[in-house]
Structure 1
Amino acid sequence: MVDMHGVGVRTPDVLIIGAGAAGLMAAFTAAQKGKQVIVIDHSPEIGRKILISGGGRCNFTNRDIKPERFISQNKHFARSALSRYKPADFLSLVEKHRIPWHEKKLGQLFCDNSAQDILSVLLAECSAAGVRLFTDVRVREISRSDKFRVETSRGTFLSPALVLATGGLSIPKIGATGFAYDVAKHFGLPIVTPEPALVPFVFGGMDQGWMHELAGVSLPVKASCGKMAFEEALLFTHRGLSGPALLQISSYWHAGEPIRLDLLPGQNAEQLVGGLKATKGKMRGPAALGRWLPQRLAQEMARQHVPDRPVVEWPDKTIRALAASLHRLDIYPTGTEGFAKAEVTRGGVDTRALSSKTMQAESVPGLYIIGEAVDVTGWLGGYNFHWAWASGHAAGTAIAEG
């Protein structure tokens, strides 16, 4: 079979667009069950997002994966795929390839060496199963009659099964695009508006001023937005706030909403400060608060909330007001640092259009959409990689058994 440019038409059982975590998982899952699989990617390099993840060590899953730790307009959608591919399943794959790994806090699993180890595992599995990979491929047109016809810079691909695994909009500098959304819309599938998630916050006005002065300061906090709260580290930046607690809460935040910070979670600020007052010493605000807060933050909180007098001279109402501010500091971001700094994308292809068991589009037989392209966003800490594994495995299995 030859197309009009004289290039042979390739006719795999499965064509996967996107050679990232989800795409490669789907590829070898289907190929191991006998399907001929081709994966194409627009980048000349495979797995760039894998390689930069986890500070270069790839937080490849989490021991404590739970469906309620994934955000979607259909909060139950992820449950099926997650129930059929668990953290232990991917860990067994890692150990099969003798990749050294370690567990950090909150169930997070990382490579000992580098993220390249995880990419190598995926590529080795693909190679062993006979998956063919094509890089630096530009897709020009996609159409469908009895099969999907994909016109590219490397010729034409004709396949009964097409998998979109091109991710979301986060980190455009490594090639992120809205390709999956465009193809989904072409086939009439709805899109939940994509927004940055797991992303630092920015502030304006007076808030920006005092936060900028604290750039580099970090401390454990409890960050809340609505009914959600995360107790992890906060980091002041030159533009606003970051750190795990703020990145986590960003996935639940919407413009105009406040974020509440407890700067002394698990402690009683009124009792702490009241105890200092009872000693009748001459300690002033910055030194007093410096017992529990980083020094620069202690100075700023003292400047904003207490008189420049020894603690022993503070009225009880001042101590109560200070305690309230330490436990319930409401801040109002003007926005986030956007997709450029977002670890993942919230929103994407609407799950109402997909089968939760197979990841196939209900109205377009043979079209599968997986990974970050779908309206499923996990917590920080290996959850989004696990969604890539689980959704890719679900699609690959369904294609092979269909």
Structure 2
Amino acid sequence: MTIATYDAIVLGAGAAGLMCAATAGQRGRRVLLLDHADRVGKKILISGGGRCNFTNIHARAETYLSANPHFAKSALARYTPADFIALVDAYGIAYHEKALGQLFCDGSAKQIVTMLLDECTKGGVDIRCGENVEEISHGDAMFRGAFGNLHFAAPSLVIATGGPSIPKMGATGFAYDLARRFGLKIVEPRPALVPLTLGGDDLLFRSLSGIATPVEARAGKAAFREAALFTHRGLSGPAILQISSYWRHGEPVTIDFAPGAASGWLVAAKRERPRATLTAALASILPDRLAQALAERLALPGELGAQTDRRLADAEARLRRWTFRPNGTEGFAKAEVTAGGIATAGLSSQTMMAKSLPGLYAVGEAVDVTGWLGGYNFQWAWASGHAAGLAL
């Protein structure tokens, strides 16, 4: 049996794996990049509605969740959004800022994948797809395995196979199984950036499916002011996806339905339009059907002028902290990313290498570092992949 030898094997040809392989290859390392999918970058291709929200200019350690909130600082500081933007510019890819620092391609996500493949070509990376990696072992300072008919060996192995979110794209928990085999610990994986489901008394809100409105959503100490969307199963939209990463089962979610309104606005509305109903007042800042549903639950019938200031103030307070109790999430099938993963305590924050096994690295979504919605997770993929690529 012939064994092909390389300097490094990168498992997973997603964002982090492509960046890692290209970086190492351009440093003169002989790199083998493997993926069980039939082509590279499949999650990149579907991201951002096909336009790839490839980074966020506001990315910093505070915009990531991890058991160690400081872990991401080193990699993010050494490969910044500006660094990736410079690469995009060098390839002449047009882009725009959609909102809140989110950068999207003007054209197609295919441009980002093509760019990364070109970077791998510059580094002479050997890319192979469409088979399962098998028989991974370690001994005599070498990692060995098989990929179809190819048997390979290398002193370095990079786990870049992501997490189990979006299984229809082929996502699995392979990274965790492999990490455990080599003695690394796992922070319990859970769906993140995922819609929340409602039950019990909150079921009534399912009738509002399709309605979206700007809110401030809170879960624990986290708060995000963006749009919320009512669905046939519960709550979604950017604000909800953001707090879902912080929400834990059994905890409440609170919604401010009037985040832009001045304090005391309902009492002021009474002064200005005493003959208006509460539904009409709410409809001045909310979609009609949502205004009606909330007014019914607040149970203040009749005209505003017939209500005491105290009752209106109490209604406003409830609108600003409307409490939902989600009974779950829509799971990994609808989660954009996975929270948890390979524990950062076992990795070097500078190189992404395992402390207990020299030559073993983990990057991207496989690691317990999860970014906010809006390009942050891609930036972590670029930064962590680059950090490992420089160390290989």
Query: 1:334-345 alignment to 2 at 5 Å?
Result: 334-345=327-338
Shift of 1:308: 2.4
Give 3-state SS (helix, strand or coil) of 1:320's partner: helix
Equivalence for 1:289: 282
| Partner amino acid, structure 1, of 2:135 | E
Change (3 A) 1:313 1:138: same
Please give the alpha-carbon distance, in whole angstroms, between the structure 1 residues aligned to 2:215 and 2:149. Answer: 52
Is residue 188 of structure 2 the alignment partner of residue 193 of structure 1? Answer: yes
Change (3 A) 1:152 1:232: same
Equivalence for 1:35: 29
Equivalence for 1:80: 74
Please give the alpha-carbon distance, in whole angstroms, between the structure 2 residues aligned to 1:392 and 1:279. Answer: 58
- For normalisation by structure 2, the TM-score amounts to 0.98
Please give the alpha-carbon distance, in whole angstroms, between the structure 2 residues aligned to 1:267 and 1:42. Answer: 51
Is the CA contact (8 Å cut-off) linking 2:267 and 2:313 kept in structure 1? no
Give 3-state SS (helix, strand or coil) of 1:88's partner: helix
Shift of 1:67: 0.6
Shift of 1:310: 1.3
Equivalence for 2:359: 366
Query: 1:245-324 alignment to 2 at 5 Å?
Result: 245-268=239-262, 271-279=264-272, 281-324=274-317
Please give the alpha-carbon distance, in whole angstroms, between the structure 1 residues aligned to 2:358 and 2:322. Answer: 51
Please give the alpha-carbon distance, in whole angstroms, between the structure 2 residues aligned to 1:273 and 1:360. Answer: 57
1:154 to 149, 156, 164: 149
1:114-150 deviation per Cα after TM superposition (whole angstroms, max 9, x unaligned): 1111101100111122111100121121111120011
Equivalence for 1:48: 42
Please give the alpha-carbon distance, in whole angstroms, between the structure 1 residues aligned to 2:124 and 2:359. Answer: 21
Shift of 1:155: 2.3
Shift of 1:286: 1.6
- Structure 2 gaps of 5+ residues are none
Give 3-state SS (helix, strand or coil) of 1:83's partner: helix
Please give the alpha-carbon distance, in whole angstroms, between the structure 1 residues aligned to 2:221 and 2:294. Answer: 26
Where in structure 1 do 4 or more consecutive aligned residues deviate above 4 Å? none
Query: 1:158-177 alignment to 2 at 5 Å?
Result: 158-177=153-172
1:256-292 deviation per Cα after TM superposition (whole angstroms, max 9, x unaligned): 11111111113236x3222232246432222121111
Equivalence for 1:242: 236
Count of equivalent residues: 391
Please give the alpha-carbon distance, in whole angstroms, between the structure 2 residues aligned to 1:129 and 1:139. Answer: 23
Query: 1:50-199 alignment to 2 at 5 Å?
Result: 50-146=44-140, 147-199=142-194
| Partner amino acid, structure 2, of 1:186 | R
Is the CA contact (8 Å cut-off) linking 1:276 and 1:312 kept in structure 2? no
Give 3-state SS (helix, strand or coil) of 2:225's partner: strand
Give 3-state SS (helix, strand or coil) of 1:98's partner: coil
Give 3-state SS (helix, strand or coil) of 2:226's partner: strand
Give 3-state SS (helix, strand or coil) of 2:248's partner: coil
2:339 to 346, 364, 368: 346
Shift of 1:325: 1.2
Please give the alpha-carbon distance, in whole angstroms, between the structure 2 residues aligned to 1:332 and 1:280. Answer: 34
Change (3 A) 1:309 1:154: same
Shift of 1:200: 0.5
The two structures, once aligned, show a CA RMSD in angstroms of: 1.1
- For normalisation by structure 1, the TM-score amounts to 0.95
1:383 to 372, 376, 380: 376
Is the CA contact (8 Å cut-off) linking 1:196 and 1:344 kept in structure 2? yes
% identity of equivalent residues: 55
| Partner amino acid, structure 2, of 1:283 | A
